[in-house]
Amino acid sequence: MNIEIKKSQKPVKYDDAISFMEERLKKIDQNKSNDLIWILEHDDIYTAGTSYKEEEILDKSIEILKTNRGGKITYHGPGQLIFYFVIDLKKNKKDIRRFISVIEKTIIETLKYYRISSFPDRENIGIWFNDNKKIKKIAAIGVRVSKWIAYHGFSLNINNDLEKYKAIIPCGIQNKGVTNLKSIKDQNYKDISNKLIENFILNLKN
């Protein structure tokens, strides 16, 4: 499995990231390029997936960028790790549900390494944390599949500004909250991107 690993030190514009992944998707489809994992951050931006509803925007003054990924409205910004990928499922198993499970398992195993217990939810996609019986989202997942090539990815909240979520109903879910790793356990997360990459590749192979 040949996967290029790309890490951006400076924030990447959302539109630029999507254009880059869509171009890579075309090249992979033509067997002209390898699969990709891309770790980055975005500047402040609210994005809406294909199933969002207008009433999920609570603060009408914010700008929303409509995207072609699955899911609803979410926020990206500094302190949030973005894990993008472009992965050819034809070389793997043509099973989208299994691929989502690979993502979920990757995040859960990585957080377990940091002694944080998290879990998926069949009703509400993403990875969740039980904070004194209040269920809060720690990672959002949004995937699109074209020509059996999966792209977009997931975001993991590390030390981002949680106040930003008050402008929206995050991922369309009203009765649950949002948290970040620093709020759960204040420790060093400097190498978390490497652990995520390592687990993702291992889980893809299994």
Q: pTM of the entire structure?
A: 0.94
Domains of the chain: 3-205 (3.30.930.10)
Does residue 107 come out as left (phi exceeding 0), alpha (psi in the -120 to 50 range) or beta? Answer: alpha
CA end-to-end distance (rounded Å), the chain? 12
Q: Is-catalytic flag, 171?
A: yes
Answer yes or no: are the C-beta atoms of 150 and 144 closer than 8 Å: yes
> Can you tell me the distance from the alpha carbon of 78 to that of 47, in angstroms, rounded to the nearest whole number?
15
User: Which tokens in the block code for residue 147?
Assistant: 């020509």
Q: What is the pLDDT of residue 174?
A: 78
Q: What is the pLDDT of residue 147?
A: 94
Q: What is the pLDDT of residue 72?
A: 87
Which residues, other chains included, contact 80 with Cβ-Cβ below 8 Å and sequence gap of 6+? 41, 42, 155, 156, 157, 158, 160, 180
Q: What is the pLDDT of residue 99?
A: 95
Q: What is the pLDDT of residue 92?
A: 74
State the catalytic residue, choosing from 149, 171, 178, 197: 171
Pick from 104, 101, 130, 100: nearest CA to 117 = 130
Handedness of CA 41, 115, 120, 197 (dihedral sign): positive
pLDDT (tens place) for every residue of the chain, 206 residues total: 689 999 999 999 999 999 999 999 999 999 999 999 999 999 999 999 888 999 999 999 999 999 888 788 999 999 999 999 999 999 877 899 999 999 999 999 999 999 999 999 988 889 999 998 899 999 999 899 999 999 999 999 999 999 999 999 887 777 789 999 999 999 999 999 999 999 999 999 98
> Can you tell me the distance from the alpha carbon of 136 to that of 133, in angstroms, rounded to the nearest whole number?
9
Q: What is the pLDDT of residue 69?
A: 84
Strands 64-66 and 45-48: parallel
